[in-house]
């Protein structure tokens, strides 16, 4: 059972019934702040309804910001219908008129969020929205400014897929760590969680998958408190619609160097 608390000039928070109202504004453990889920989408007609269903079902108070990056497979039309049906505006949809990439879609979403905590959610069902509570826990407890969900730690289930993808992910994470002096295990993870003031204060420029090393370099330079939590992972195959390829890996390598050495 939750209750709403509103104070003039302050955002809406949620707290468990019975906890002191004063604690609501101190970010202590057991207090749920408003969450914004940013969901970039490109040609996900097979998955869009299911990922929205799962995201809505996640046990946190939230708004969902969907950014369609000029889909051509019917996703855009479906999202227009979903937006019209969202009478409570819990789902807001933004559309790019040209395909600009995941990083550009995320920037559009970050500019629109109103929550206190921002979560990135891919649309491909590889990451489980039911894990939001443990992802936001370090922020709610006042220990973290940024949380990464790692596919390589913890005891959660993982679909066994591409060996060389995992090697590439670990190499890029290692290289990023060498420059940022962080000890992340999964820099490339989709699940990145931020205090809103952190992500909205970061100047981001990468339009595609270079977002991952860029934002990691930025939060490290800002001396943010970064935590990792183990997550499950249900990776999909290229036949099932996986989009990232070896060229994106090469670009990510360049972005690690660019955003740590040249900025």
Residue 79 lies in a domain: yes
**Rounded to whole angstroms, how far apart are CA atoms 118 and 17?**
24
**Domain interval for residue 115:** 11-162+183-202+225-238
* 8 Å CB contact between 191 and 120: yes
In a domain, 125, yes or no: yes
Burial pattern 199-224, b for ≥16 Cβ within 10 A else e, equals beebebebbbbbbbbbbbbbbbeeeb
Phi, psi at 230, each rounded to 5°: -70, 140
Residue 141: inside a domain, yes or no? Answer: yes
Distance between CA atoms of 220 and 22, rounded to whole angstroms? 32
Q: Is residue 136 part of a domain?
A: yes
pLDDT in tens, 221-246: 999 999 999 999 987 565 565 666 66
Answer yes or no: is 187 within a domain.
yes
Q: Is the pLDDT of residue 18 over 90?
A: no
Q: What is the pLDDT of residue 31?
A: 60
Contact criterion met (CB below 8 Å) for 113 and 196: yes
Residue 1 lies in a domain: no
Residue 176 lies in a domain: no
Is 242:235 a contact under the CB 8 Å cutoff? yes
| pLDDT beyond 70 at 44 | yes
DSSP label of 233: B
Query: Based on the structure, what is the number of domains in the chain?
Result: 1
Tell me the pLDDT band of 252, cut-offs 50, 70 and 90: confident
Model pLDDT, residue 30: 56
- Kindly state the average pLDDT of the residues 4-25: 31
CATH number for the domain harbouring residue 125: 3.90.550.10
Q: Using one digit for the tens of pLDDT, what is the confidence trace for 68-82?
A: 999 999 999 999 999
In a domain, 244, yes or no: no
Q: Measuring CA to CA, which residue among 194, 226, 214 is closest to residue 104?
A: 214
Could you give the C-alpha distances from 138 to 37, 211, 250, in angstroms and in order? 17, 23, 32
């Amino acid at each position: 059972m939750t209750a709403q608390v509103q104070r003039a000039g302050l955002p809406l928070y949620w707290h468990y019934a019975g906890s002191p109202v004063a604690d609501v504004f101190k970010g202590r453990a057991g207090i749920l702040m408003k969450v914004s889920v940013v969901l970039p989408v490109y040609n996900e007609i097979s998955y869009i309804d299911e990922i929205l269903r799962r995201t809505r079902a996640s046990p946190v108070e939230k708004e969902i910001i969907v950014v369609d990056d000029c889909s051509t497979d019917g996703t855009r039309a479906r999202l227009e219908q979903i937006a019209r049906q969202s009478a409570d505006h819990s789902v807001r949809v933004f559309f790019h008129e040209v395909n600009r990439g995941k990083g550009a879609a995320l920037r559009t979403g970050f500019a629109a969020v109103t929550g206190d905590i921002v979560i990135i959610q891919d649309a491909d069902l590889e990451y489980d929205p039911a894990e939001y509570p443990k992802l936001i826990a370090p922020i709610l407890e006042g220990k973290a400014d940024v949380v990464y969900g790692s596919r390589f730690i913890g005891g959660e289930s993982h679909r066994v897929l591409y060996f060389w993808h995992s090697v590439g992910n670990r190499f890029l994470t290692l290289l990023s760590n060498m420059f940022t002096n962080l000890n992340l295990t999964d820099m490339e993870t989709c699940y990145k969680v931020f205090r809103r003031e952190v992500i909205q204060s970061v100047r981001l420029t990468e339009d595609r998958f270079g977002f991952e090393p860029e934002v990691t370099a930025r939060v490290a330079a800002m001396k943010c408190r970064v935590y990792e939590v183990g997550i499950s992972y249900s990776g999909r195959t290229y036949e099932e619609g996986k989009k990232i390829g070896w060229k994106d890996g090469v670009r990510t390598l360049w972005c690690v160097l660019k955003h740590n050495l040249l900025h």
